[in-house]
Amino acid sequence: MKWYQQWLLPSLAAVCLAGNVHAAGTSDYPNVAWTLLQVSLVPDQLAVVSADTPVIGVNLEPFWGAQKRVDGLNLQPLLGFSDEINGISVQGFGETTRFAGLQFGLVAFATHFQGVSFSLVTGAWENRGLQVGVANFSGNTAPVIYQGDSIPPGGGLQLGLFNNATSGVQIGLLNYNANSPVPWMILFNASAR
């Protein structure tokens, strides 16, 4: 048995279990029925359950996804819009209001981000994690639907060719941080705002 086969199933089980523990242990989790598996081709039309039903397990939406809450593994390889994702997410083009976990994609935007994102383009209004991509945006420069009126708390870390933020640490070829003493820098930039 190859090394990745030995840890893949236990890792997926741990993510699903973590979602169940999270759901049972927090008061913000809706007191509604939930499902372990969601498969949807068109949200609320060709789907196992409605987009309002929380998924604690695996969410698979191969073409277009709009599952509101996913705790576990989220797979939206083309297009995905979600209110909250906790766990591992793979999205081609994705937009999430609240994200916590590990994210992979082509373009990934989040209003509140906590975790690690590996995407060509990443954007987070509130970044409390690590963004790794060709172009990374955070703070008031992030292209997300909801942005607060002020500079968001926390800045996180950005690793990429081009990094644009209003707070945090940046490592990349070209970095812009409006609140840094020197806004445009090569290789490294930071601000504590």
8 A C-beta contact, residue 81 and residue 67: no
Q: What is the pLDDT at residue 23?
A: 43
Strands 130-138 and 69-127 come out as: parallel
Q: What is the pLDDT at residue 193?
A: 64
* Residue linked to tokens 């020197």: 182
Task: Report the distance separating Cα 88 and Cα 156, nearest Å.
Answer: 19
Q: What is the pLDDT at residue 17?
A: 46
Task: Report the distance separating Cα 137 and Cα 139, nearest Å.
Answer: 7
Q: What is the pLDDT at residue 129?
A: 94
pLDDT in tens, 132-152: 999 999 887 777 666 666 666
Sequence-ordered list of residues with C-beta below 8 angstroms from that of 128, at least 6 positions apart, any chain: 112, 113, 114, 154, 156
pLDDT in tens, 19-62: 444 444 444 555 678 889 999 888 888 888 889 999 999 999 99
Q: What is the pLDDT at residue 151?
A: 61
Span 99-125, average pLDDT = 94
Task: Place 79 in a pLDDT band, splitting at 50, 70 and 90.
Answer: very high
Q: What is the pLDDT at residue 176?
A: 93
Q: What is the pLDDT at residue 18?
A: 45
- Beta-bridged to residue 186, according to DSSP, are none
pLDDT in tens, 115-136: 999 999 999 989 999 999 999 9
Listed residue (102, 107, 98, 161) closest to 125, CA to CA: 98
